[in-house]
Amino acid sequence: MAVDHIIIGSGINALVAAAMLGLKGQRVLVLEREAVAGGCLRTDEVTLPGFRHDVMAATWVLFMTSPAGGLLGPHLARHGFDYCHTPHPTAVLRPDGQALVLTTDRGANIKAFNALAAEDGARHGRDVGAIEADAPFLFSLLGGALWSWPTAKLLFGQVRKRGLRGLAAWMGSALAPARGWLEGYSSPLVQALWAPWVLHCGLTPESTYSAQMGKVVAFALEAAGAPIVKGGSGAAVAAFRGLIAENGGEIRCGADVSRISVHNGRVTGVVLASGETISCRSVLASVAPSQLYDRLLGGENLPEDKAAVAGFRHGRGNFQLHYALDAVPEWTAAGLEQVALIHLADGIDSVSKSANEAERGLLPEVPTICVGQPSRLDPSRCPDGKAVLWLQIPDAPRVIKGDAAGTIAARDWDSAREAFADRIEAILSRHIKDFDKIKLARRAYSPADLAAMNINLVGGDPYGGACSIDQFFIWRPFAHSTNGVGPVRGLIHIGASTHPGPGLGGGSGFNAAKRLGG
């Protein structure tokens, strides 16, 4: 068997690349080792029949606003891809019951922030306005192929606009940590609204460039909301599958690639664990660096890459908790009914503390909790009158060394999972009236569970590796990396471990497909 391109893995970047190449008339085969396609895009009845949960990724604002989404959106719509929206993308609920809700109306947000502190609304307007003004330059850096003539021309244009020293100053300010940015707001509520969002970028309030990423998130949420896919993220995978098949491509599940075949320094195809050999012109590998260089290219002489794998670091783990409810939750704070994503957090210090504890291998004493209300946006997710909740805790240790609260003795996730879920549920239940009465079922997924479901979520890290500055932008995954290509001709490394990093934007798949003529 022979095809034009083989794509290993079936996450968002693989699906984007396959769809784009198929639209150009090239024959694509996507090989997924698991029984279900989609990588982190899965929708299942994991609690009770009729209650459909996005087991991992859920919010699609990055795809909707990305070049990949713009190009593929009309094609995917023909195959049933549709968004569900709310004018209230996010909110924060503090332990004392105070809440602040963001809307997709900048003027309303400025007014609400000013009501909390006289200058906070104006500051918010300046922050998101600056991102909006820099959007063509900034989003090209965040999503484009960095080692390229278009990026070089873009930078030269900025030198002409700002001057060399001015561009250097802009770059320097973009490296600021979020703590300094957030402490510029006077209201603790405004600080608490934005502080948890840096965790969704794989960062912390003290991380380099987390302020810039926090502002980008603020701009994106305000401008585009926090949409989900009608029917769940699994419905998005089904739409991609339909589009890929429409153009002669195929997604094959249960197909574990054991080796990438290389002859004279060039890719010739792949060998499956079953022994089947498939020939191709190029391979796109949407996998973690260790999978690519230690397993798929294990027999190749690639000393620089294999040495770099040994030093590649993964970030914090992720913990997921899903609920089937007998009724729509009634929050103790007003105005949260139609909010897509609610963070339960006290502020900058609480977010910093939970992240630091997880990074040190401790179960956080008070984890930062993100609560999604998908059935509010998409009633098809559950029976009439019922509800589902999607909880993500981005501060879970990959390996448990202890418990910051000193009450959970277990040191492995199989033993600690339900006790940690109990801790999270105790926090949640304080903010929802009669929670115990409406709770029908729950399902928890520890970092170890997520790693077992997807081999690329090493230790339950959903971001493809630590997103610290030394492993990001032109240095992702390695200091010597160049647009996902290396000494093996015809091989492109894509996925969360490569630039432009994690999320549902599909950037690395988009860039790879463009490189191959897509």
Q: Is the pLDDT of residue 267 over 90?
A: yes
CB-based contact 417:446 (threshold 8 Å): yes
- Identify whether residues 367 and 444 lie together within a single domain: yes
Q: Given this model, what pLDDT does residue 109 score?
A: 98
For the residues 61-84, what does the mean pLDDT come to?
97
Domain tally for the chain?
3
User: Do 260 and 372 belong together in one domain?
Assistant: no
Query: Peptide bond preceding 500: is omega within 30 degrees of 0, i.e. cis?
Result: yes
pLDDT at 150: 86
Give 35's pLDDT tier (boundaries 50, 70, 90): very high
Tokens of 354: 């939970």
pLDDT value at 149 more than 90 = no
How many Cβ atoms are within 10 Å of 302's Cβ, its own excluded?
18
Q: Which two tokens stand for residue 346?
A: 């006290």
Using the structure block, give the residue that is written with the tokens 């029949």. Answer: 49
pLDDT for residue 518 is more than 70 = no
Of 134 and 356, which is predicted with more confidence?
Answer: 356
In a domain, 65, yes or no: yes
* 91 inside domain: no
Please state the pTM of the whole predicted model: 0.96
Whether 474 and 434 map to the same domain: the answer is no
What percent of the chain has a predicted confidence (pLDDT) above 70? Answer: 100
Domain end residue (candidates: 175, 194, 224): 224
Is residue 458 one of the residues assigned to a domain? no
382, pLDDT greater than 70: yes
Q: What is the mean pLDDT of the chain?
A: 96
* Same domain flag for 332 and 206: no
Residue 481 domain flag: yes
User: Could you give the 3-state DSSP secondary structure of residue 455?
Assistant: coil
- C-alpha pair distances (Å), 309 with each of 9, 11, 317, 465: 19, 21, 19, 11
Q: Percent of the chain at pLDDT above 90?
A: 92
- Return the amino acid letter for 178: A
pLDDT at site 292: 97
Per-residue pLDDT band at 139 (split at 50, 70, 90): confident
H helices, E strands: number in the chain? 20, 21
* Model confidence pLDDT, tens digit, residues 206-215: 999 999 999 9
- In tens, the pLDDT along 387-403 reads 999 999 999 999 999 99
Q: 159 and 272, same structural domain? A: no
Which tokens hold the place of 114? 């000013």
Provide the residue range defining the domain that includes 188: 102-224
Do 284 and 236 lie in a common domain?
Answer: yes
Q: What is the CATH number of the domain that holds 286?
A: 3.50.50.60
Is a pLDDT exceeding 80 seen at residue 1? no
Residue 137 structure tokens: 């330059």
170 and 293 assigned to the same domain: no
pLDDT band at 517, cuts 50/70/90? confident
Q: What is the CA radius of gyration of the chain?
A: 22
Give the per-residue pLDDT at 62.
95
484 and 504 inside one domain? yes
Residue 88 lies in a domain: no
Considering the domain boundaries, does residue 19 fall inside one?
A: yes
- Let me know if residue 372 belongs to a domain: yes
Q: Are residues 301 and 333 in the same domain?
A: no
Select from 453, 474, 489 the last residue of a domain.
Answer: 453
Residue with tokens 């989609």: 38
Choose the final residue of a domain: 162, 195, 224.
Answer: 224
Q: Are residues 219 and 108 in the same domain?
A: yes
Token couple for 35? 């029984």
Query: Is 433 in the same domain as 480?
Result: no
What are the helix (H) ranges across 65-187?
67-77, 106-116, 120-133, 135-143, 149-162, 164-174, 178-182
* Total Cβ atoms within 10 A of residue 383: 14
- Whether 360 maps to a domain, the answer reads yes
300 and 397 together in one domain: no
pLDDT band at 147 (very low <50, low <70, confident <90, very high): confident
153-211 pLDDT per residue, tens = 888 888 889 999 998 998 999 999 999 999 999 999 999 999 999 999 999 999 999 99
Would you state the pLDDT for residue 2? 87
Contact call for residues 75 and 229 (beta carbons, < 8 A): no
Q: What is the pLDDT of residues 41-69, one digit of tens each?
A: 999 999 999 999 999 999 999 999 999 99
